Amino acid sequence: MARVSQEHLDARRRQILDGAALCFARNGFHATSMQDVLKEVGLSAGAVYRYFRGKEELIGAIVGEVLEWIQATFEAAAQETPPPPPDVLVGRALTQVLGRRPGVAEETVDYLPRLIVQVWAETLRNEELAAVLKQGYAKVRVAWVKIVEGYQAAGMMRDDIPADHVARVMVGAAQGFVAQLALFDEVPVDALQDGLRGLMSMGKPS
């Protein structure tokens, strides 16, 4: 019997994750069954269960992957001296992450923001998923703290405010923008970048 290549195994795993992500984003975790996932990816139960034991494992894998994308983007920026300004950095991160559409997106709709909001809701009842998200959020915040410290060292930002506080606000800005995309659609990343530039331009009243 011919051995299955690692490339084939990786492609099959990718196929399953993408199809499941699309199902979850479209209908939510609780309304999506493993049968729905099997139908979406066009595979047998045996083929899917070879990679994932069930829906919970699929959810955890998808969440971990998205967090890795976000973390990698900000960690790379933290290595730049000085780091890109917040409007450029957040815009770059969102563009890169949102460009990774799960599965074959139907028409022109990007399901990733909807998937992310579904994950946030699920963490309120799923302790294991909440732990994964909390750990990922902590890593992203650490990367942002390094970025803010880079701003402060370069004289781009006042240094009398804790870097961690600024980091939390920047993460919150990105999260809020994702929520707008999920709820209202058609919110360009440019709008967030312009808004950040506007806030950054504020000075003391004359």
pLDDT in tens, 44-55: 999 899 999 888
Q: What is the DSSP string of 28-62?
A: -STT--HHHHHHHHT--HHHHHTT-SSHHHHHHHH
44, burial (CB in 10 Å: exposed 0-12, middle 13-18, buried 19+): exposed
pLDDT of residue 155: 92
pLDDT of residue 107: 44
Q: Is the pLDDT of residue 36 over 60?
A: yes
DSSP state of 204: -
Q: Which conformational region is residue 187 in: left (phi greater than 0), alpha (psi within -120 to 50 degrees), or beta?
A: beta
Q: Is the pLDDT of residue 61 over 70?
A: yes
- Taking only the tens place, the pLDDT of each residue in 180-206 is 988 887 778 888 999 999 988 887 665
pLDDT of residue 204: 65
Residue 134: which residues within 8 A CB-CB, separation 6 or more? none
- Taking only the tens place, the pLDDT of each residue in 66-98 is 888 888 888 888 888 888 999 998 888 888 777
Percent of the chain's residues with pLDDT above 70: 91
pLDDT of residue 104: 46
Type of residue numbered 191: A
Q: Is the pLDDT of residue 100 over 90?
A: no
pLDDT higher for 161 or 10? Answer: 161
pLDDT of residue 200: 86
Among the listed residues 144, 165, 151, 18, the one whose alpha carbon sits nearest the alpha carbon of residue 71: 144
Tokens of 47: 């083929």
Q: Is the pLDDT of residue 176 over 70?
A: yes
Residue 85: which residues within 8 A CB-CB, separation 6 or more? 151, 156, 200
Q: Is the pLDDT of residue 121 over 50?
A: yes
The chain-wide mean pLDDT, for the chain, equals 86
Q: pTM (2 decimals)?
A: 0.80
Q: What is the DSSP string of 21-36?
A: HHHHHHH-STT--HHH
Check if the beta carbon of residue 182 is closer than 8 Å to that of residue 113.
yes
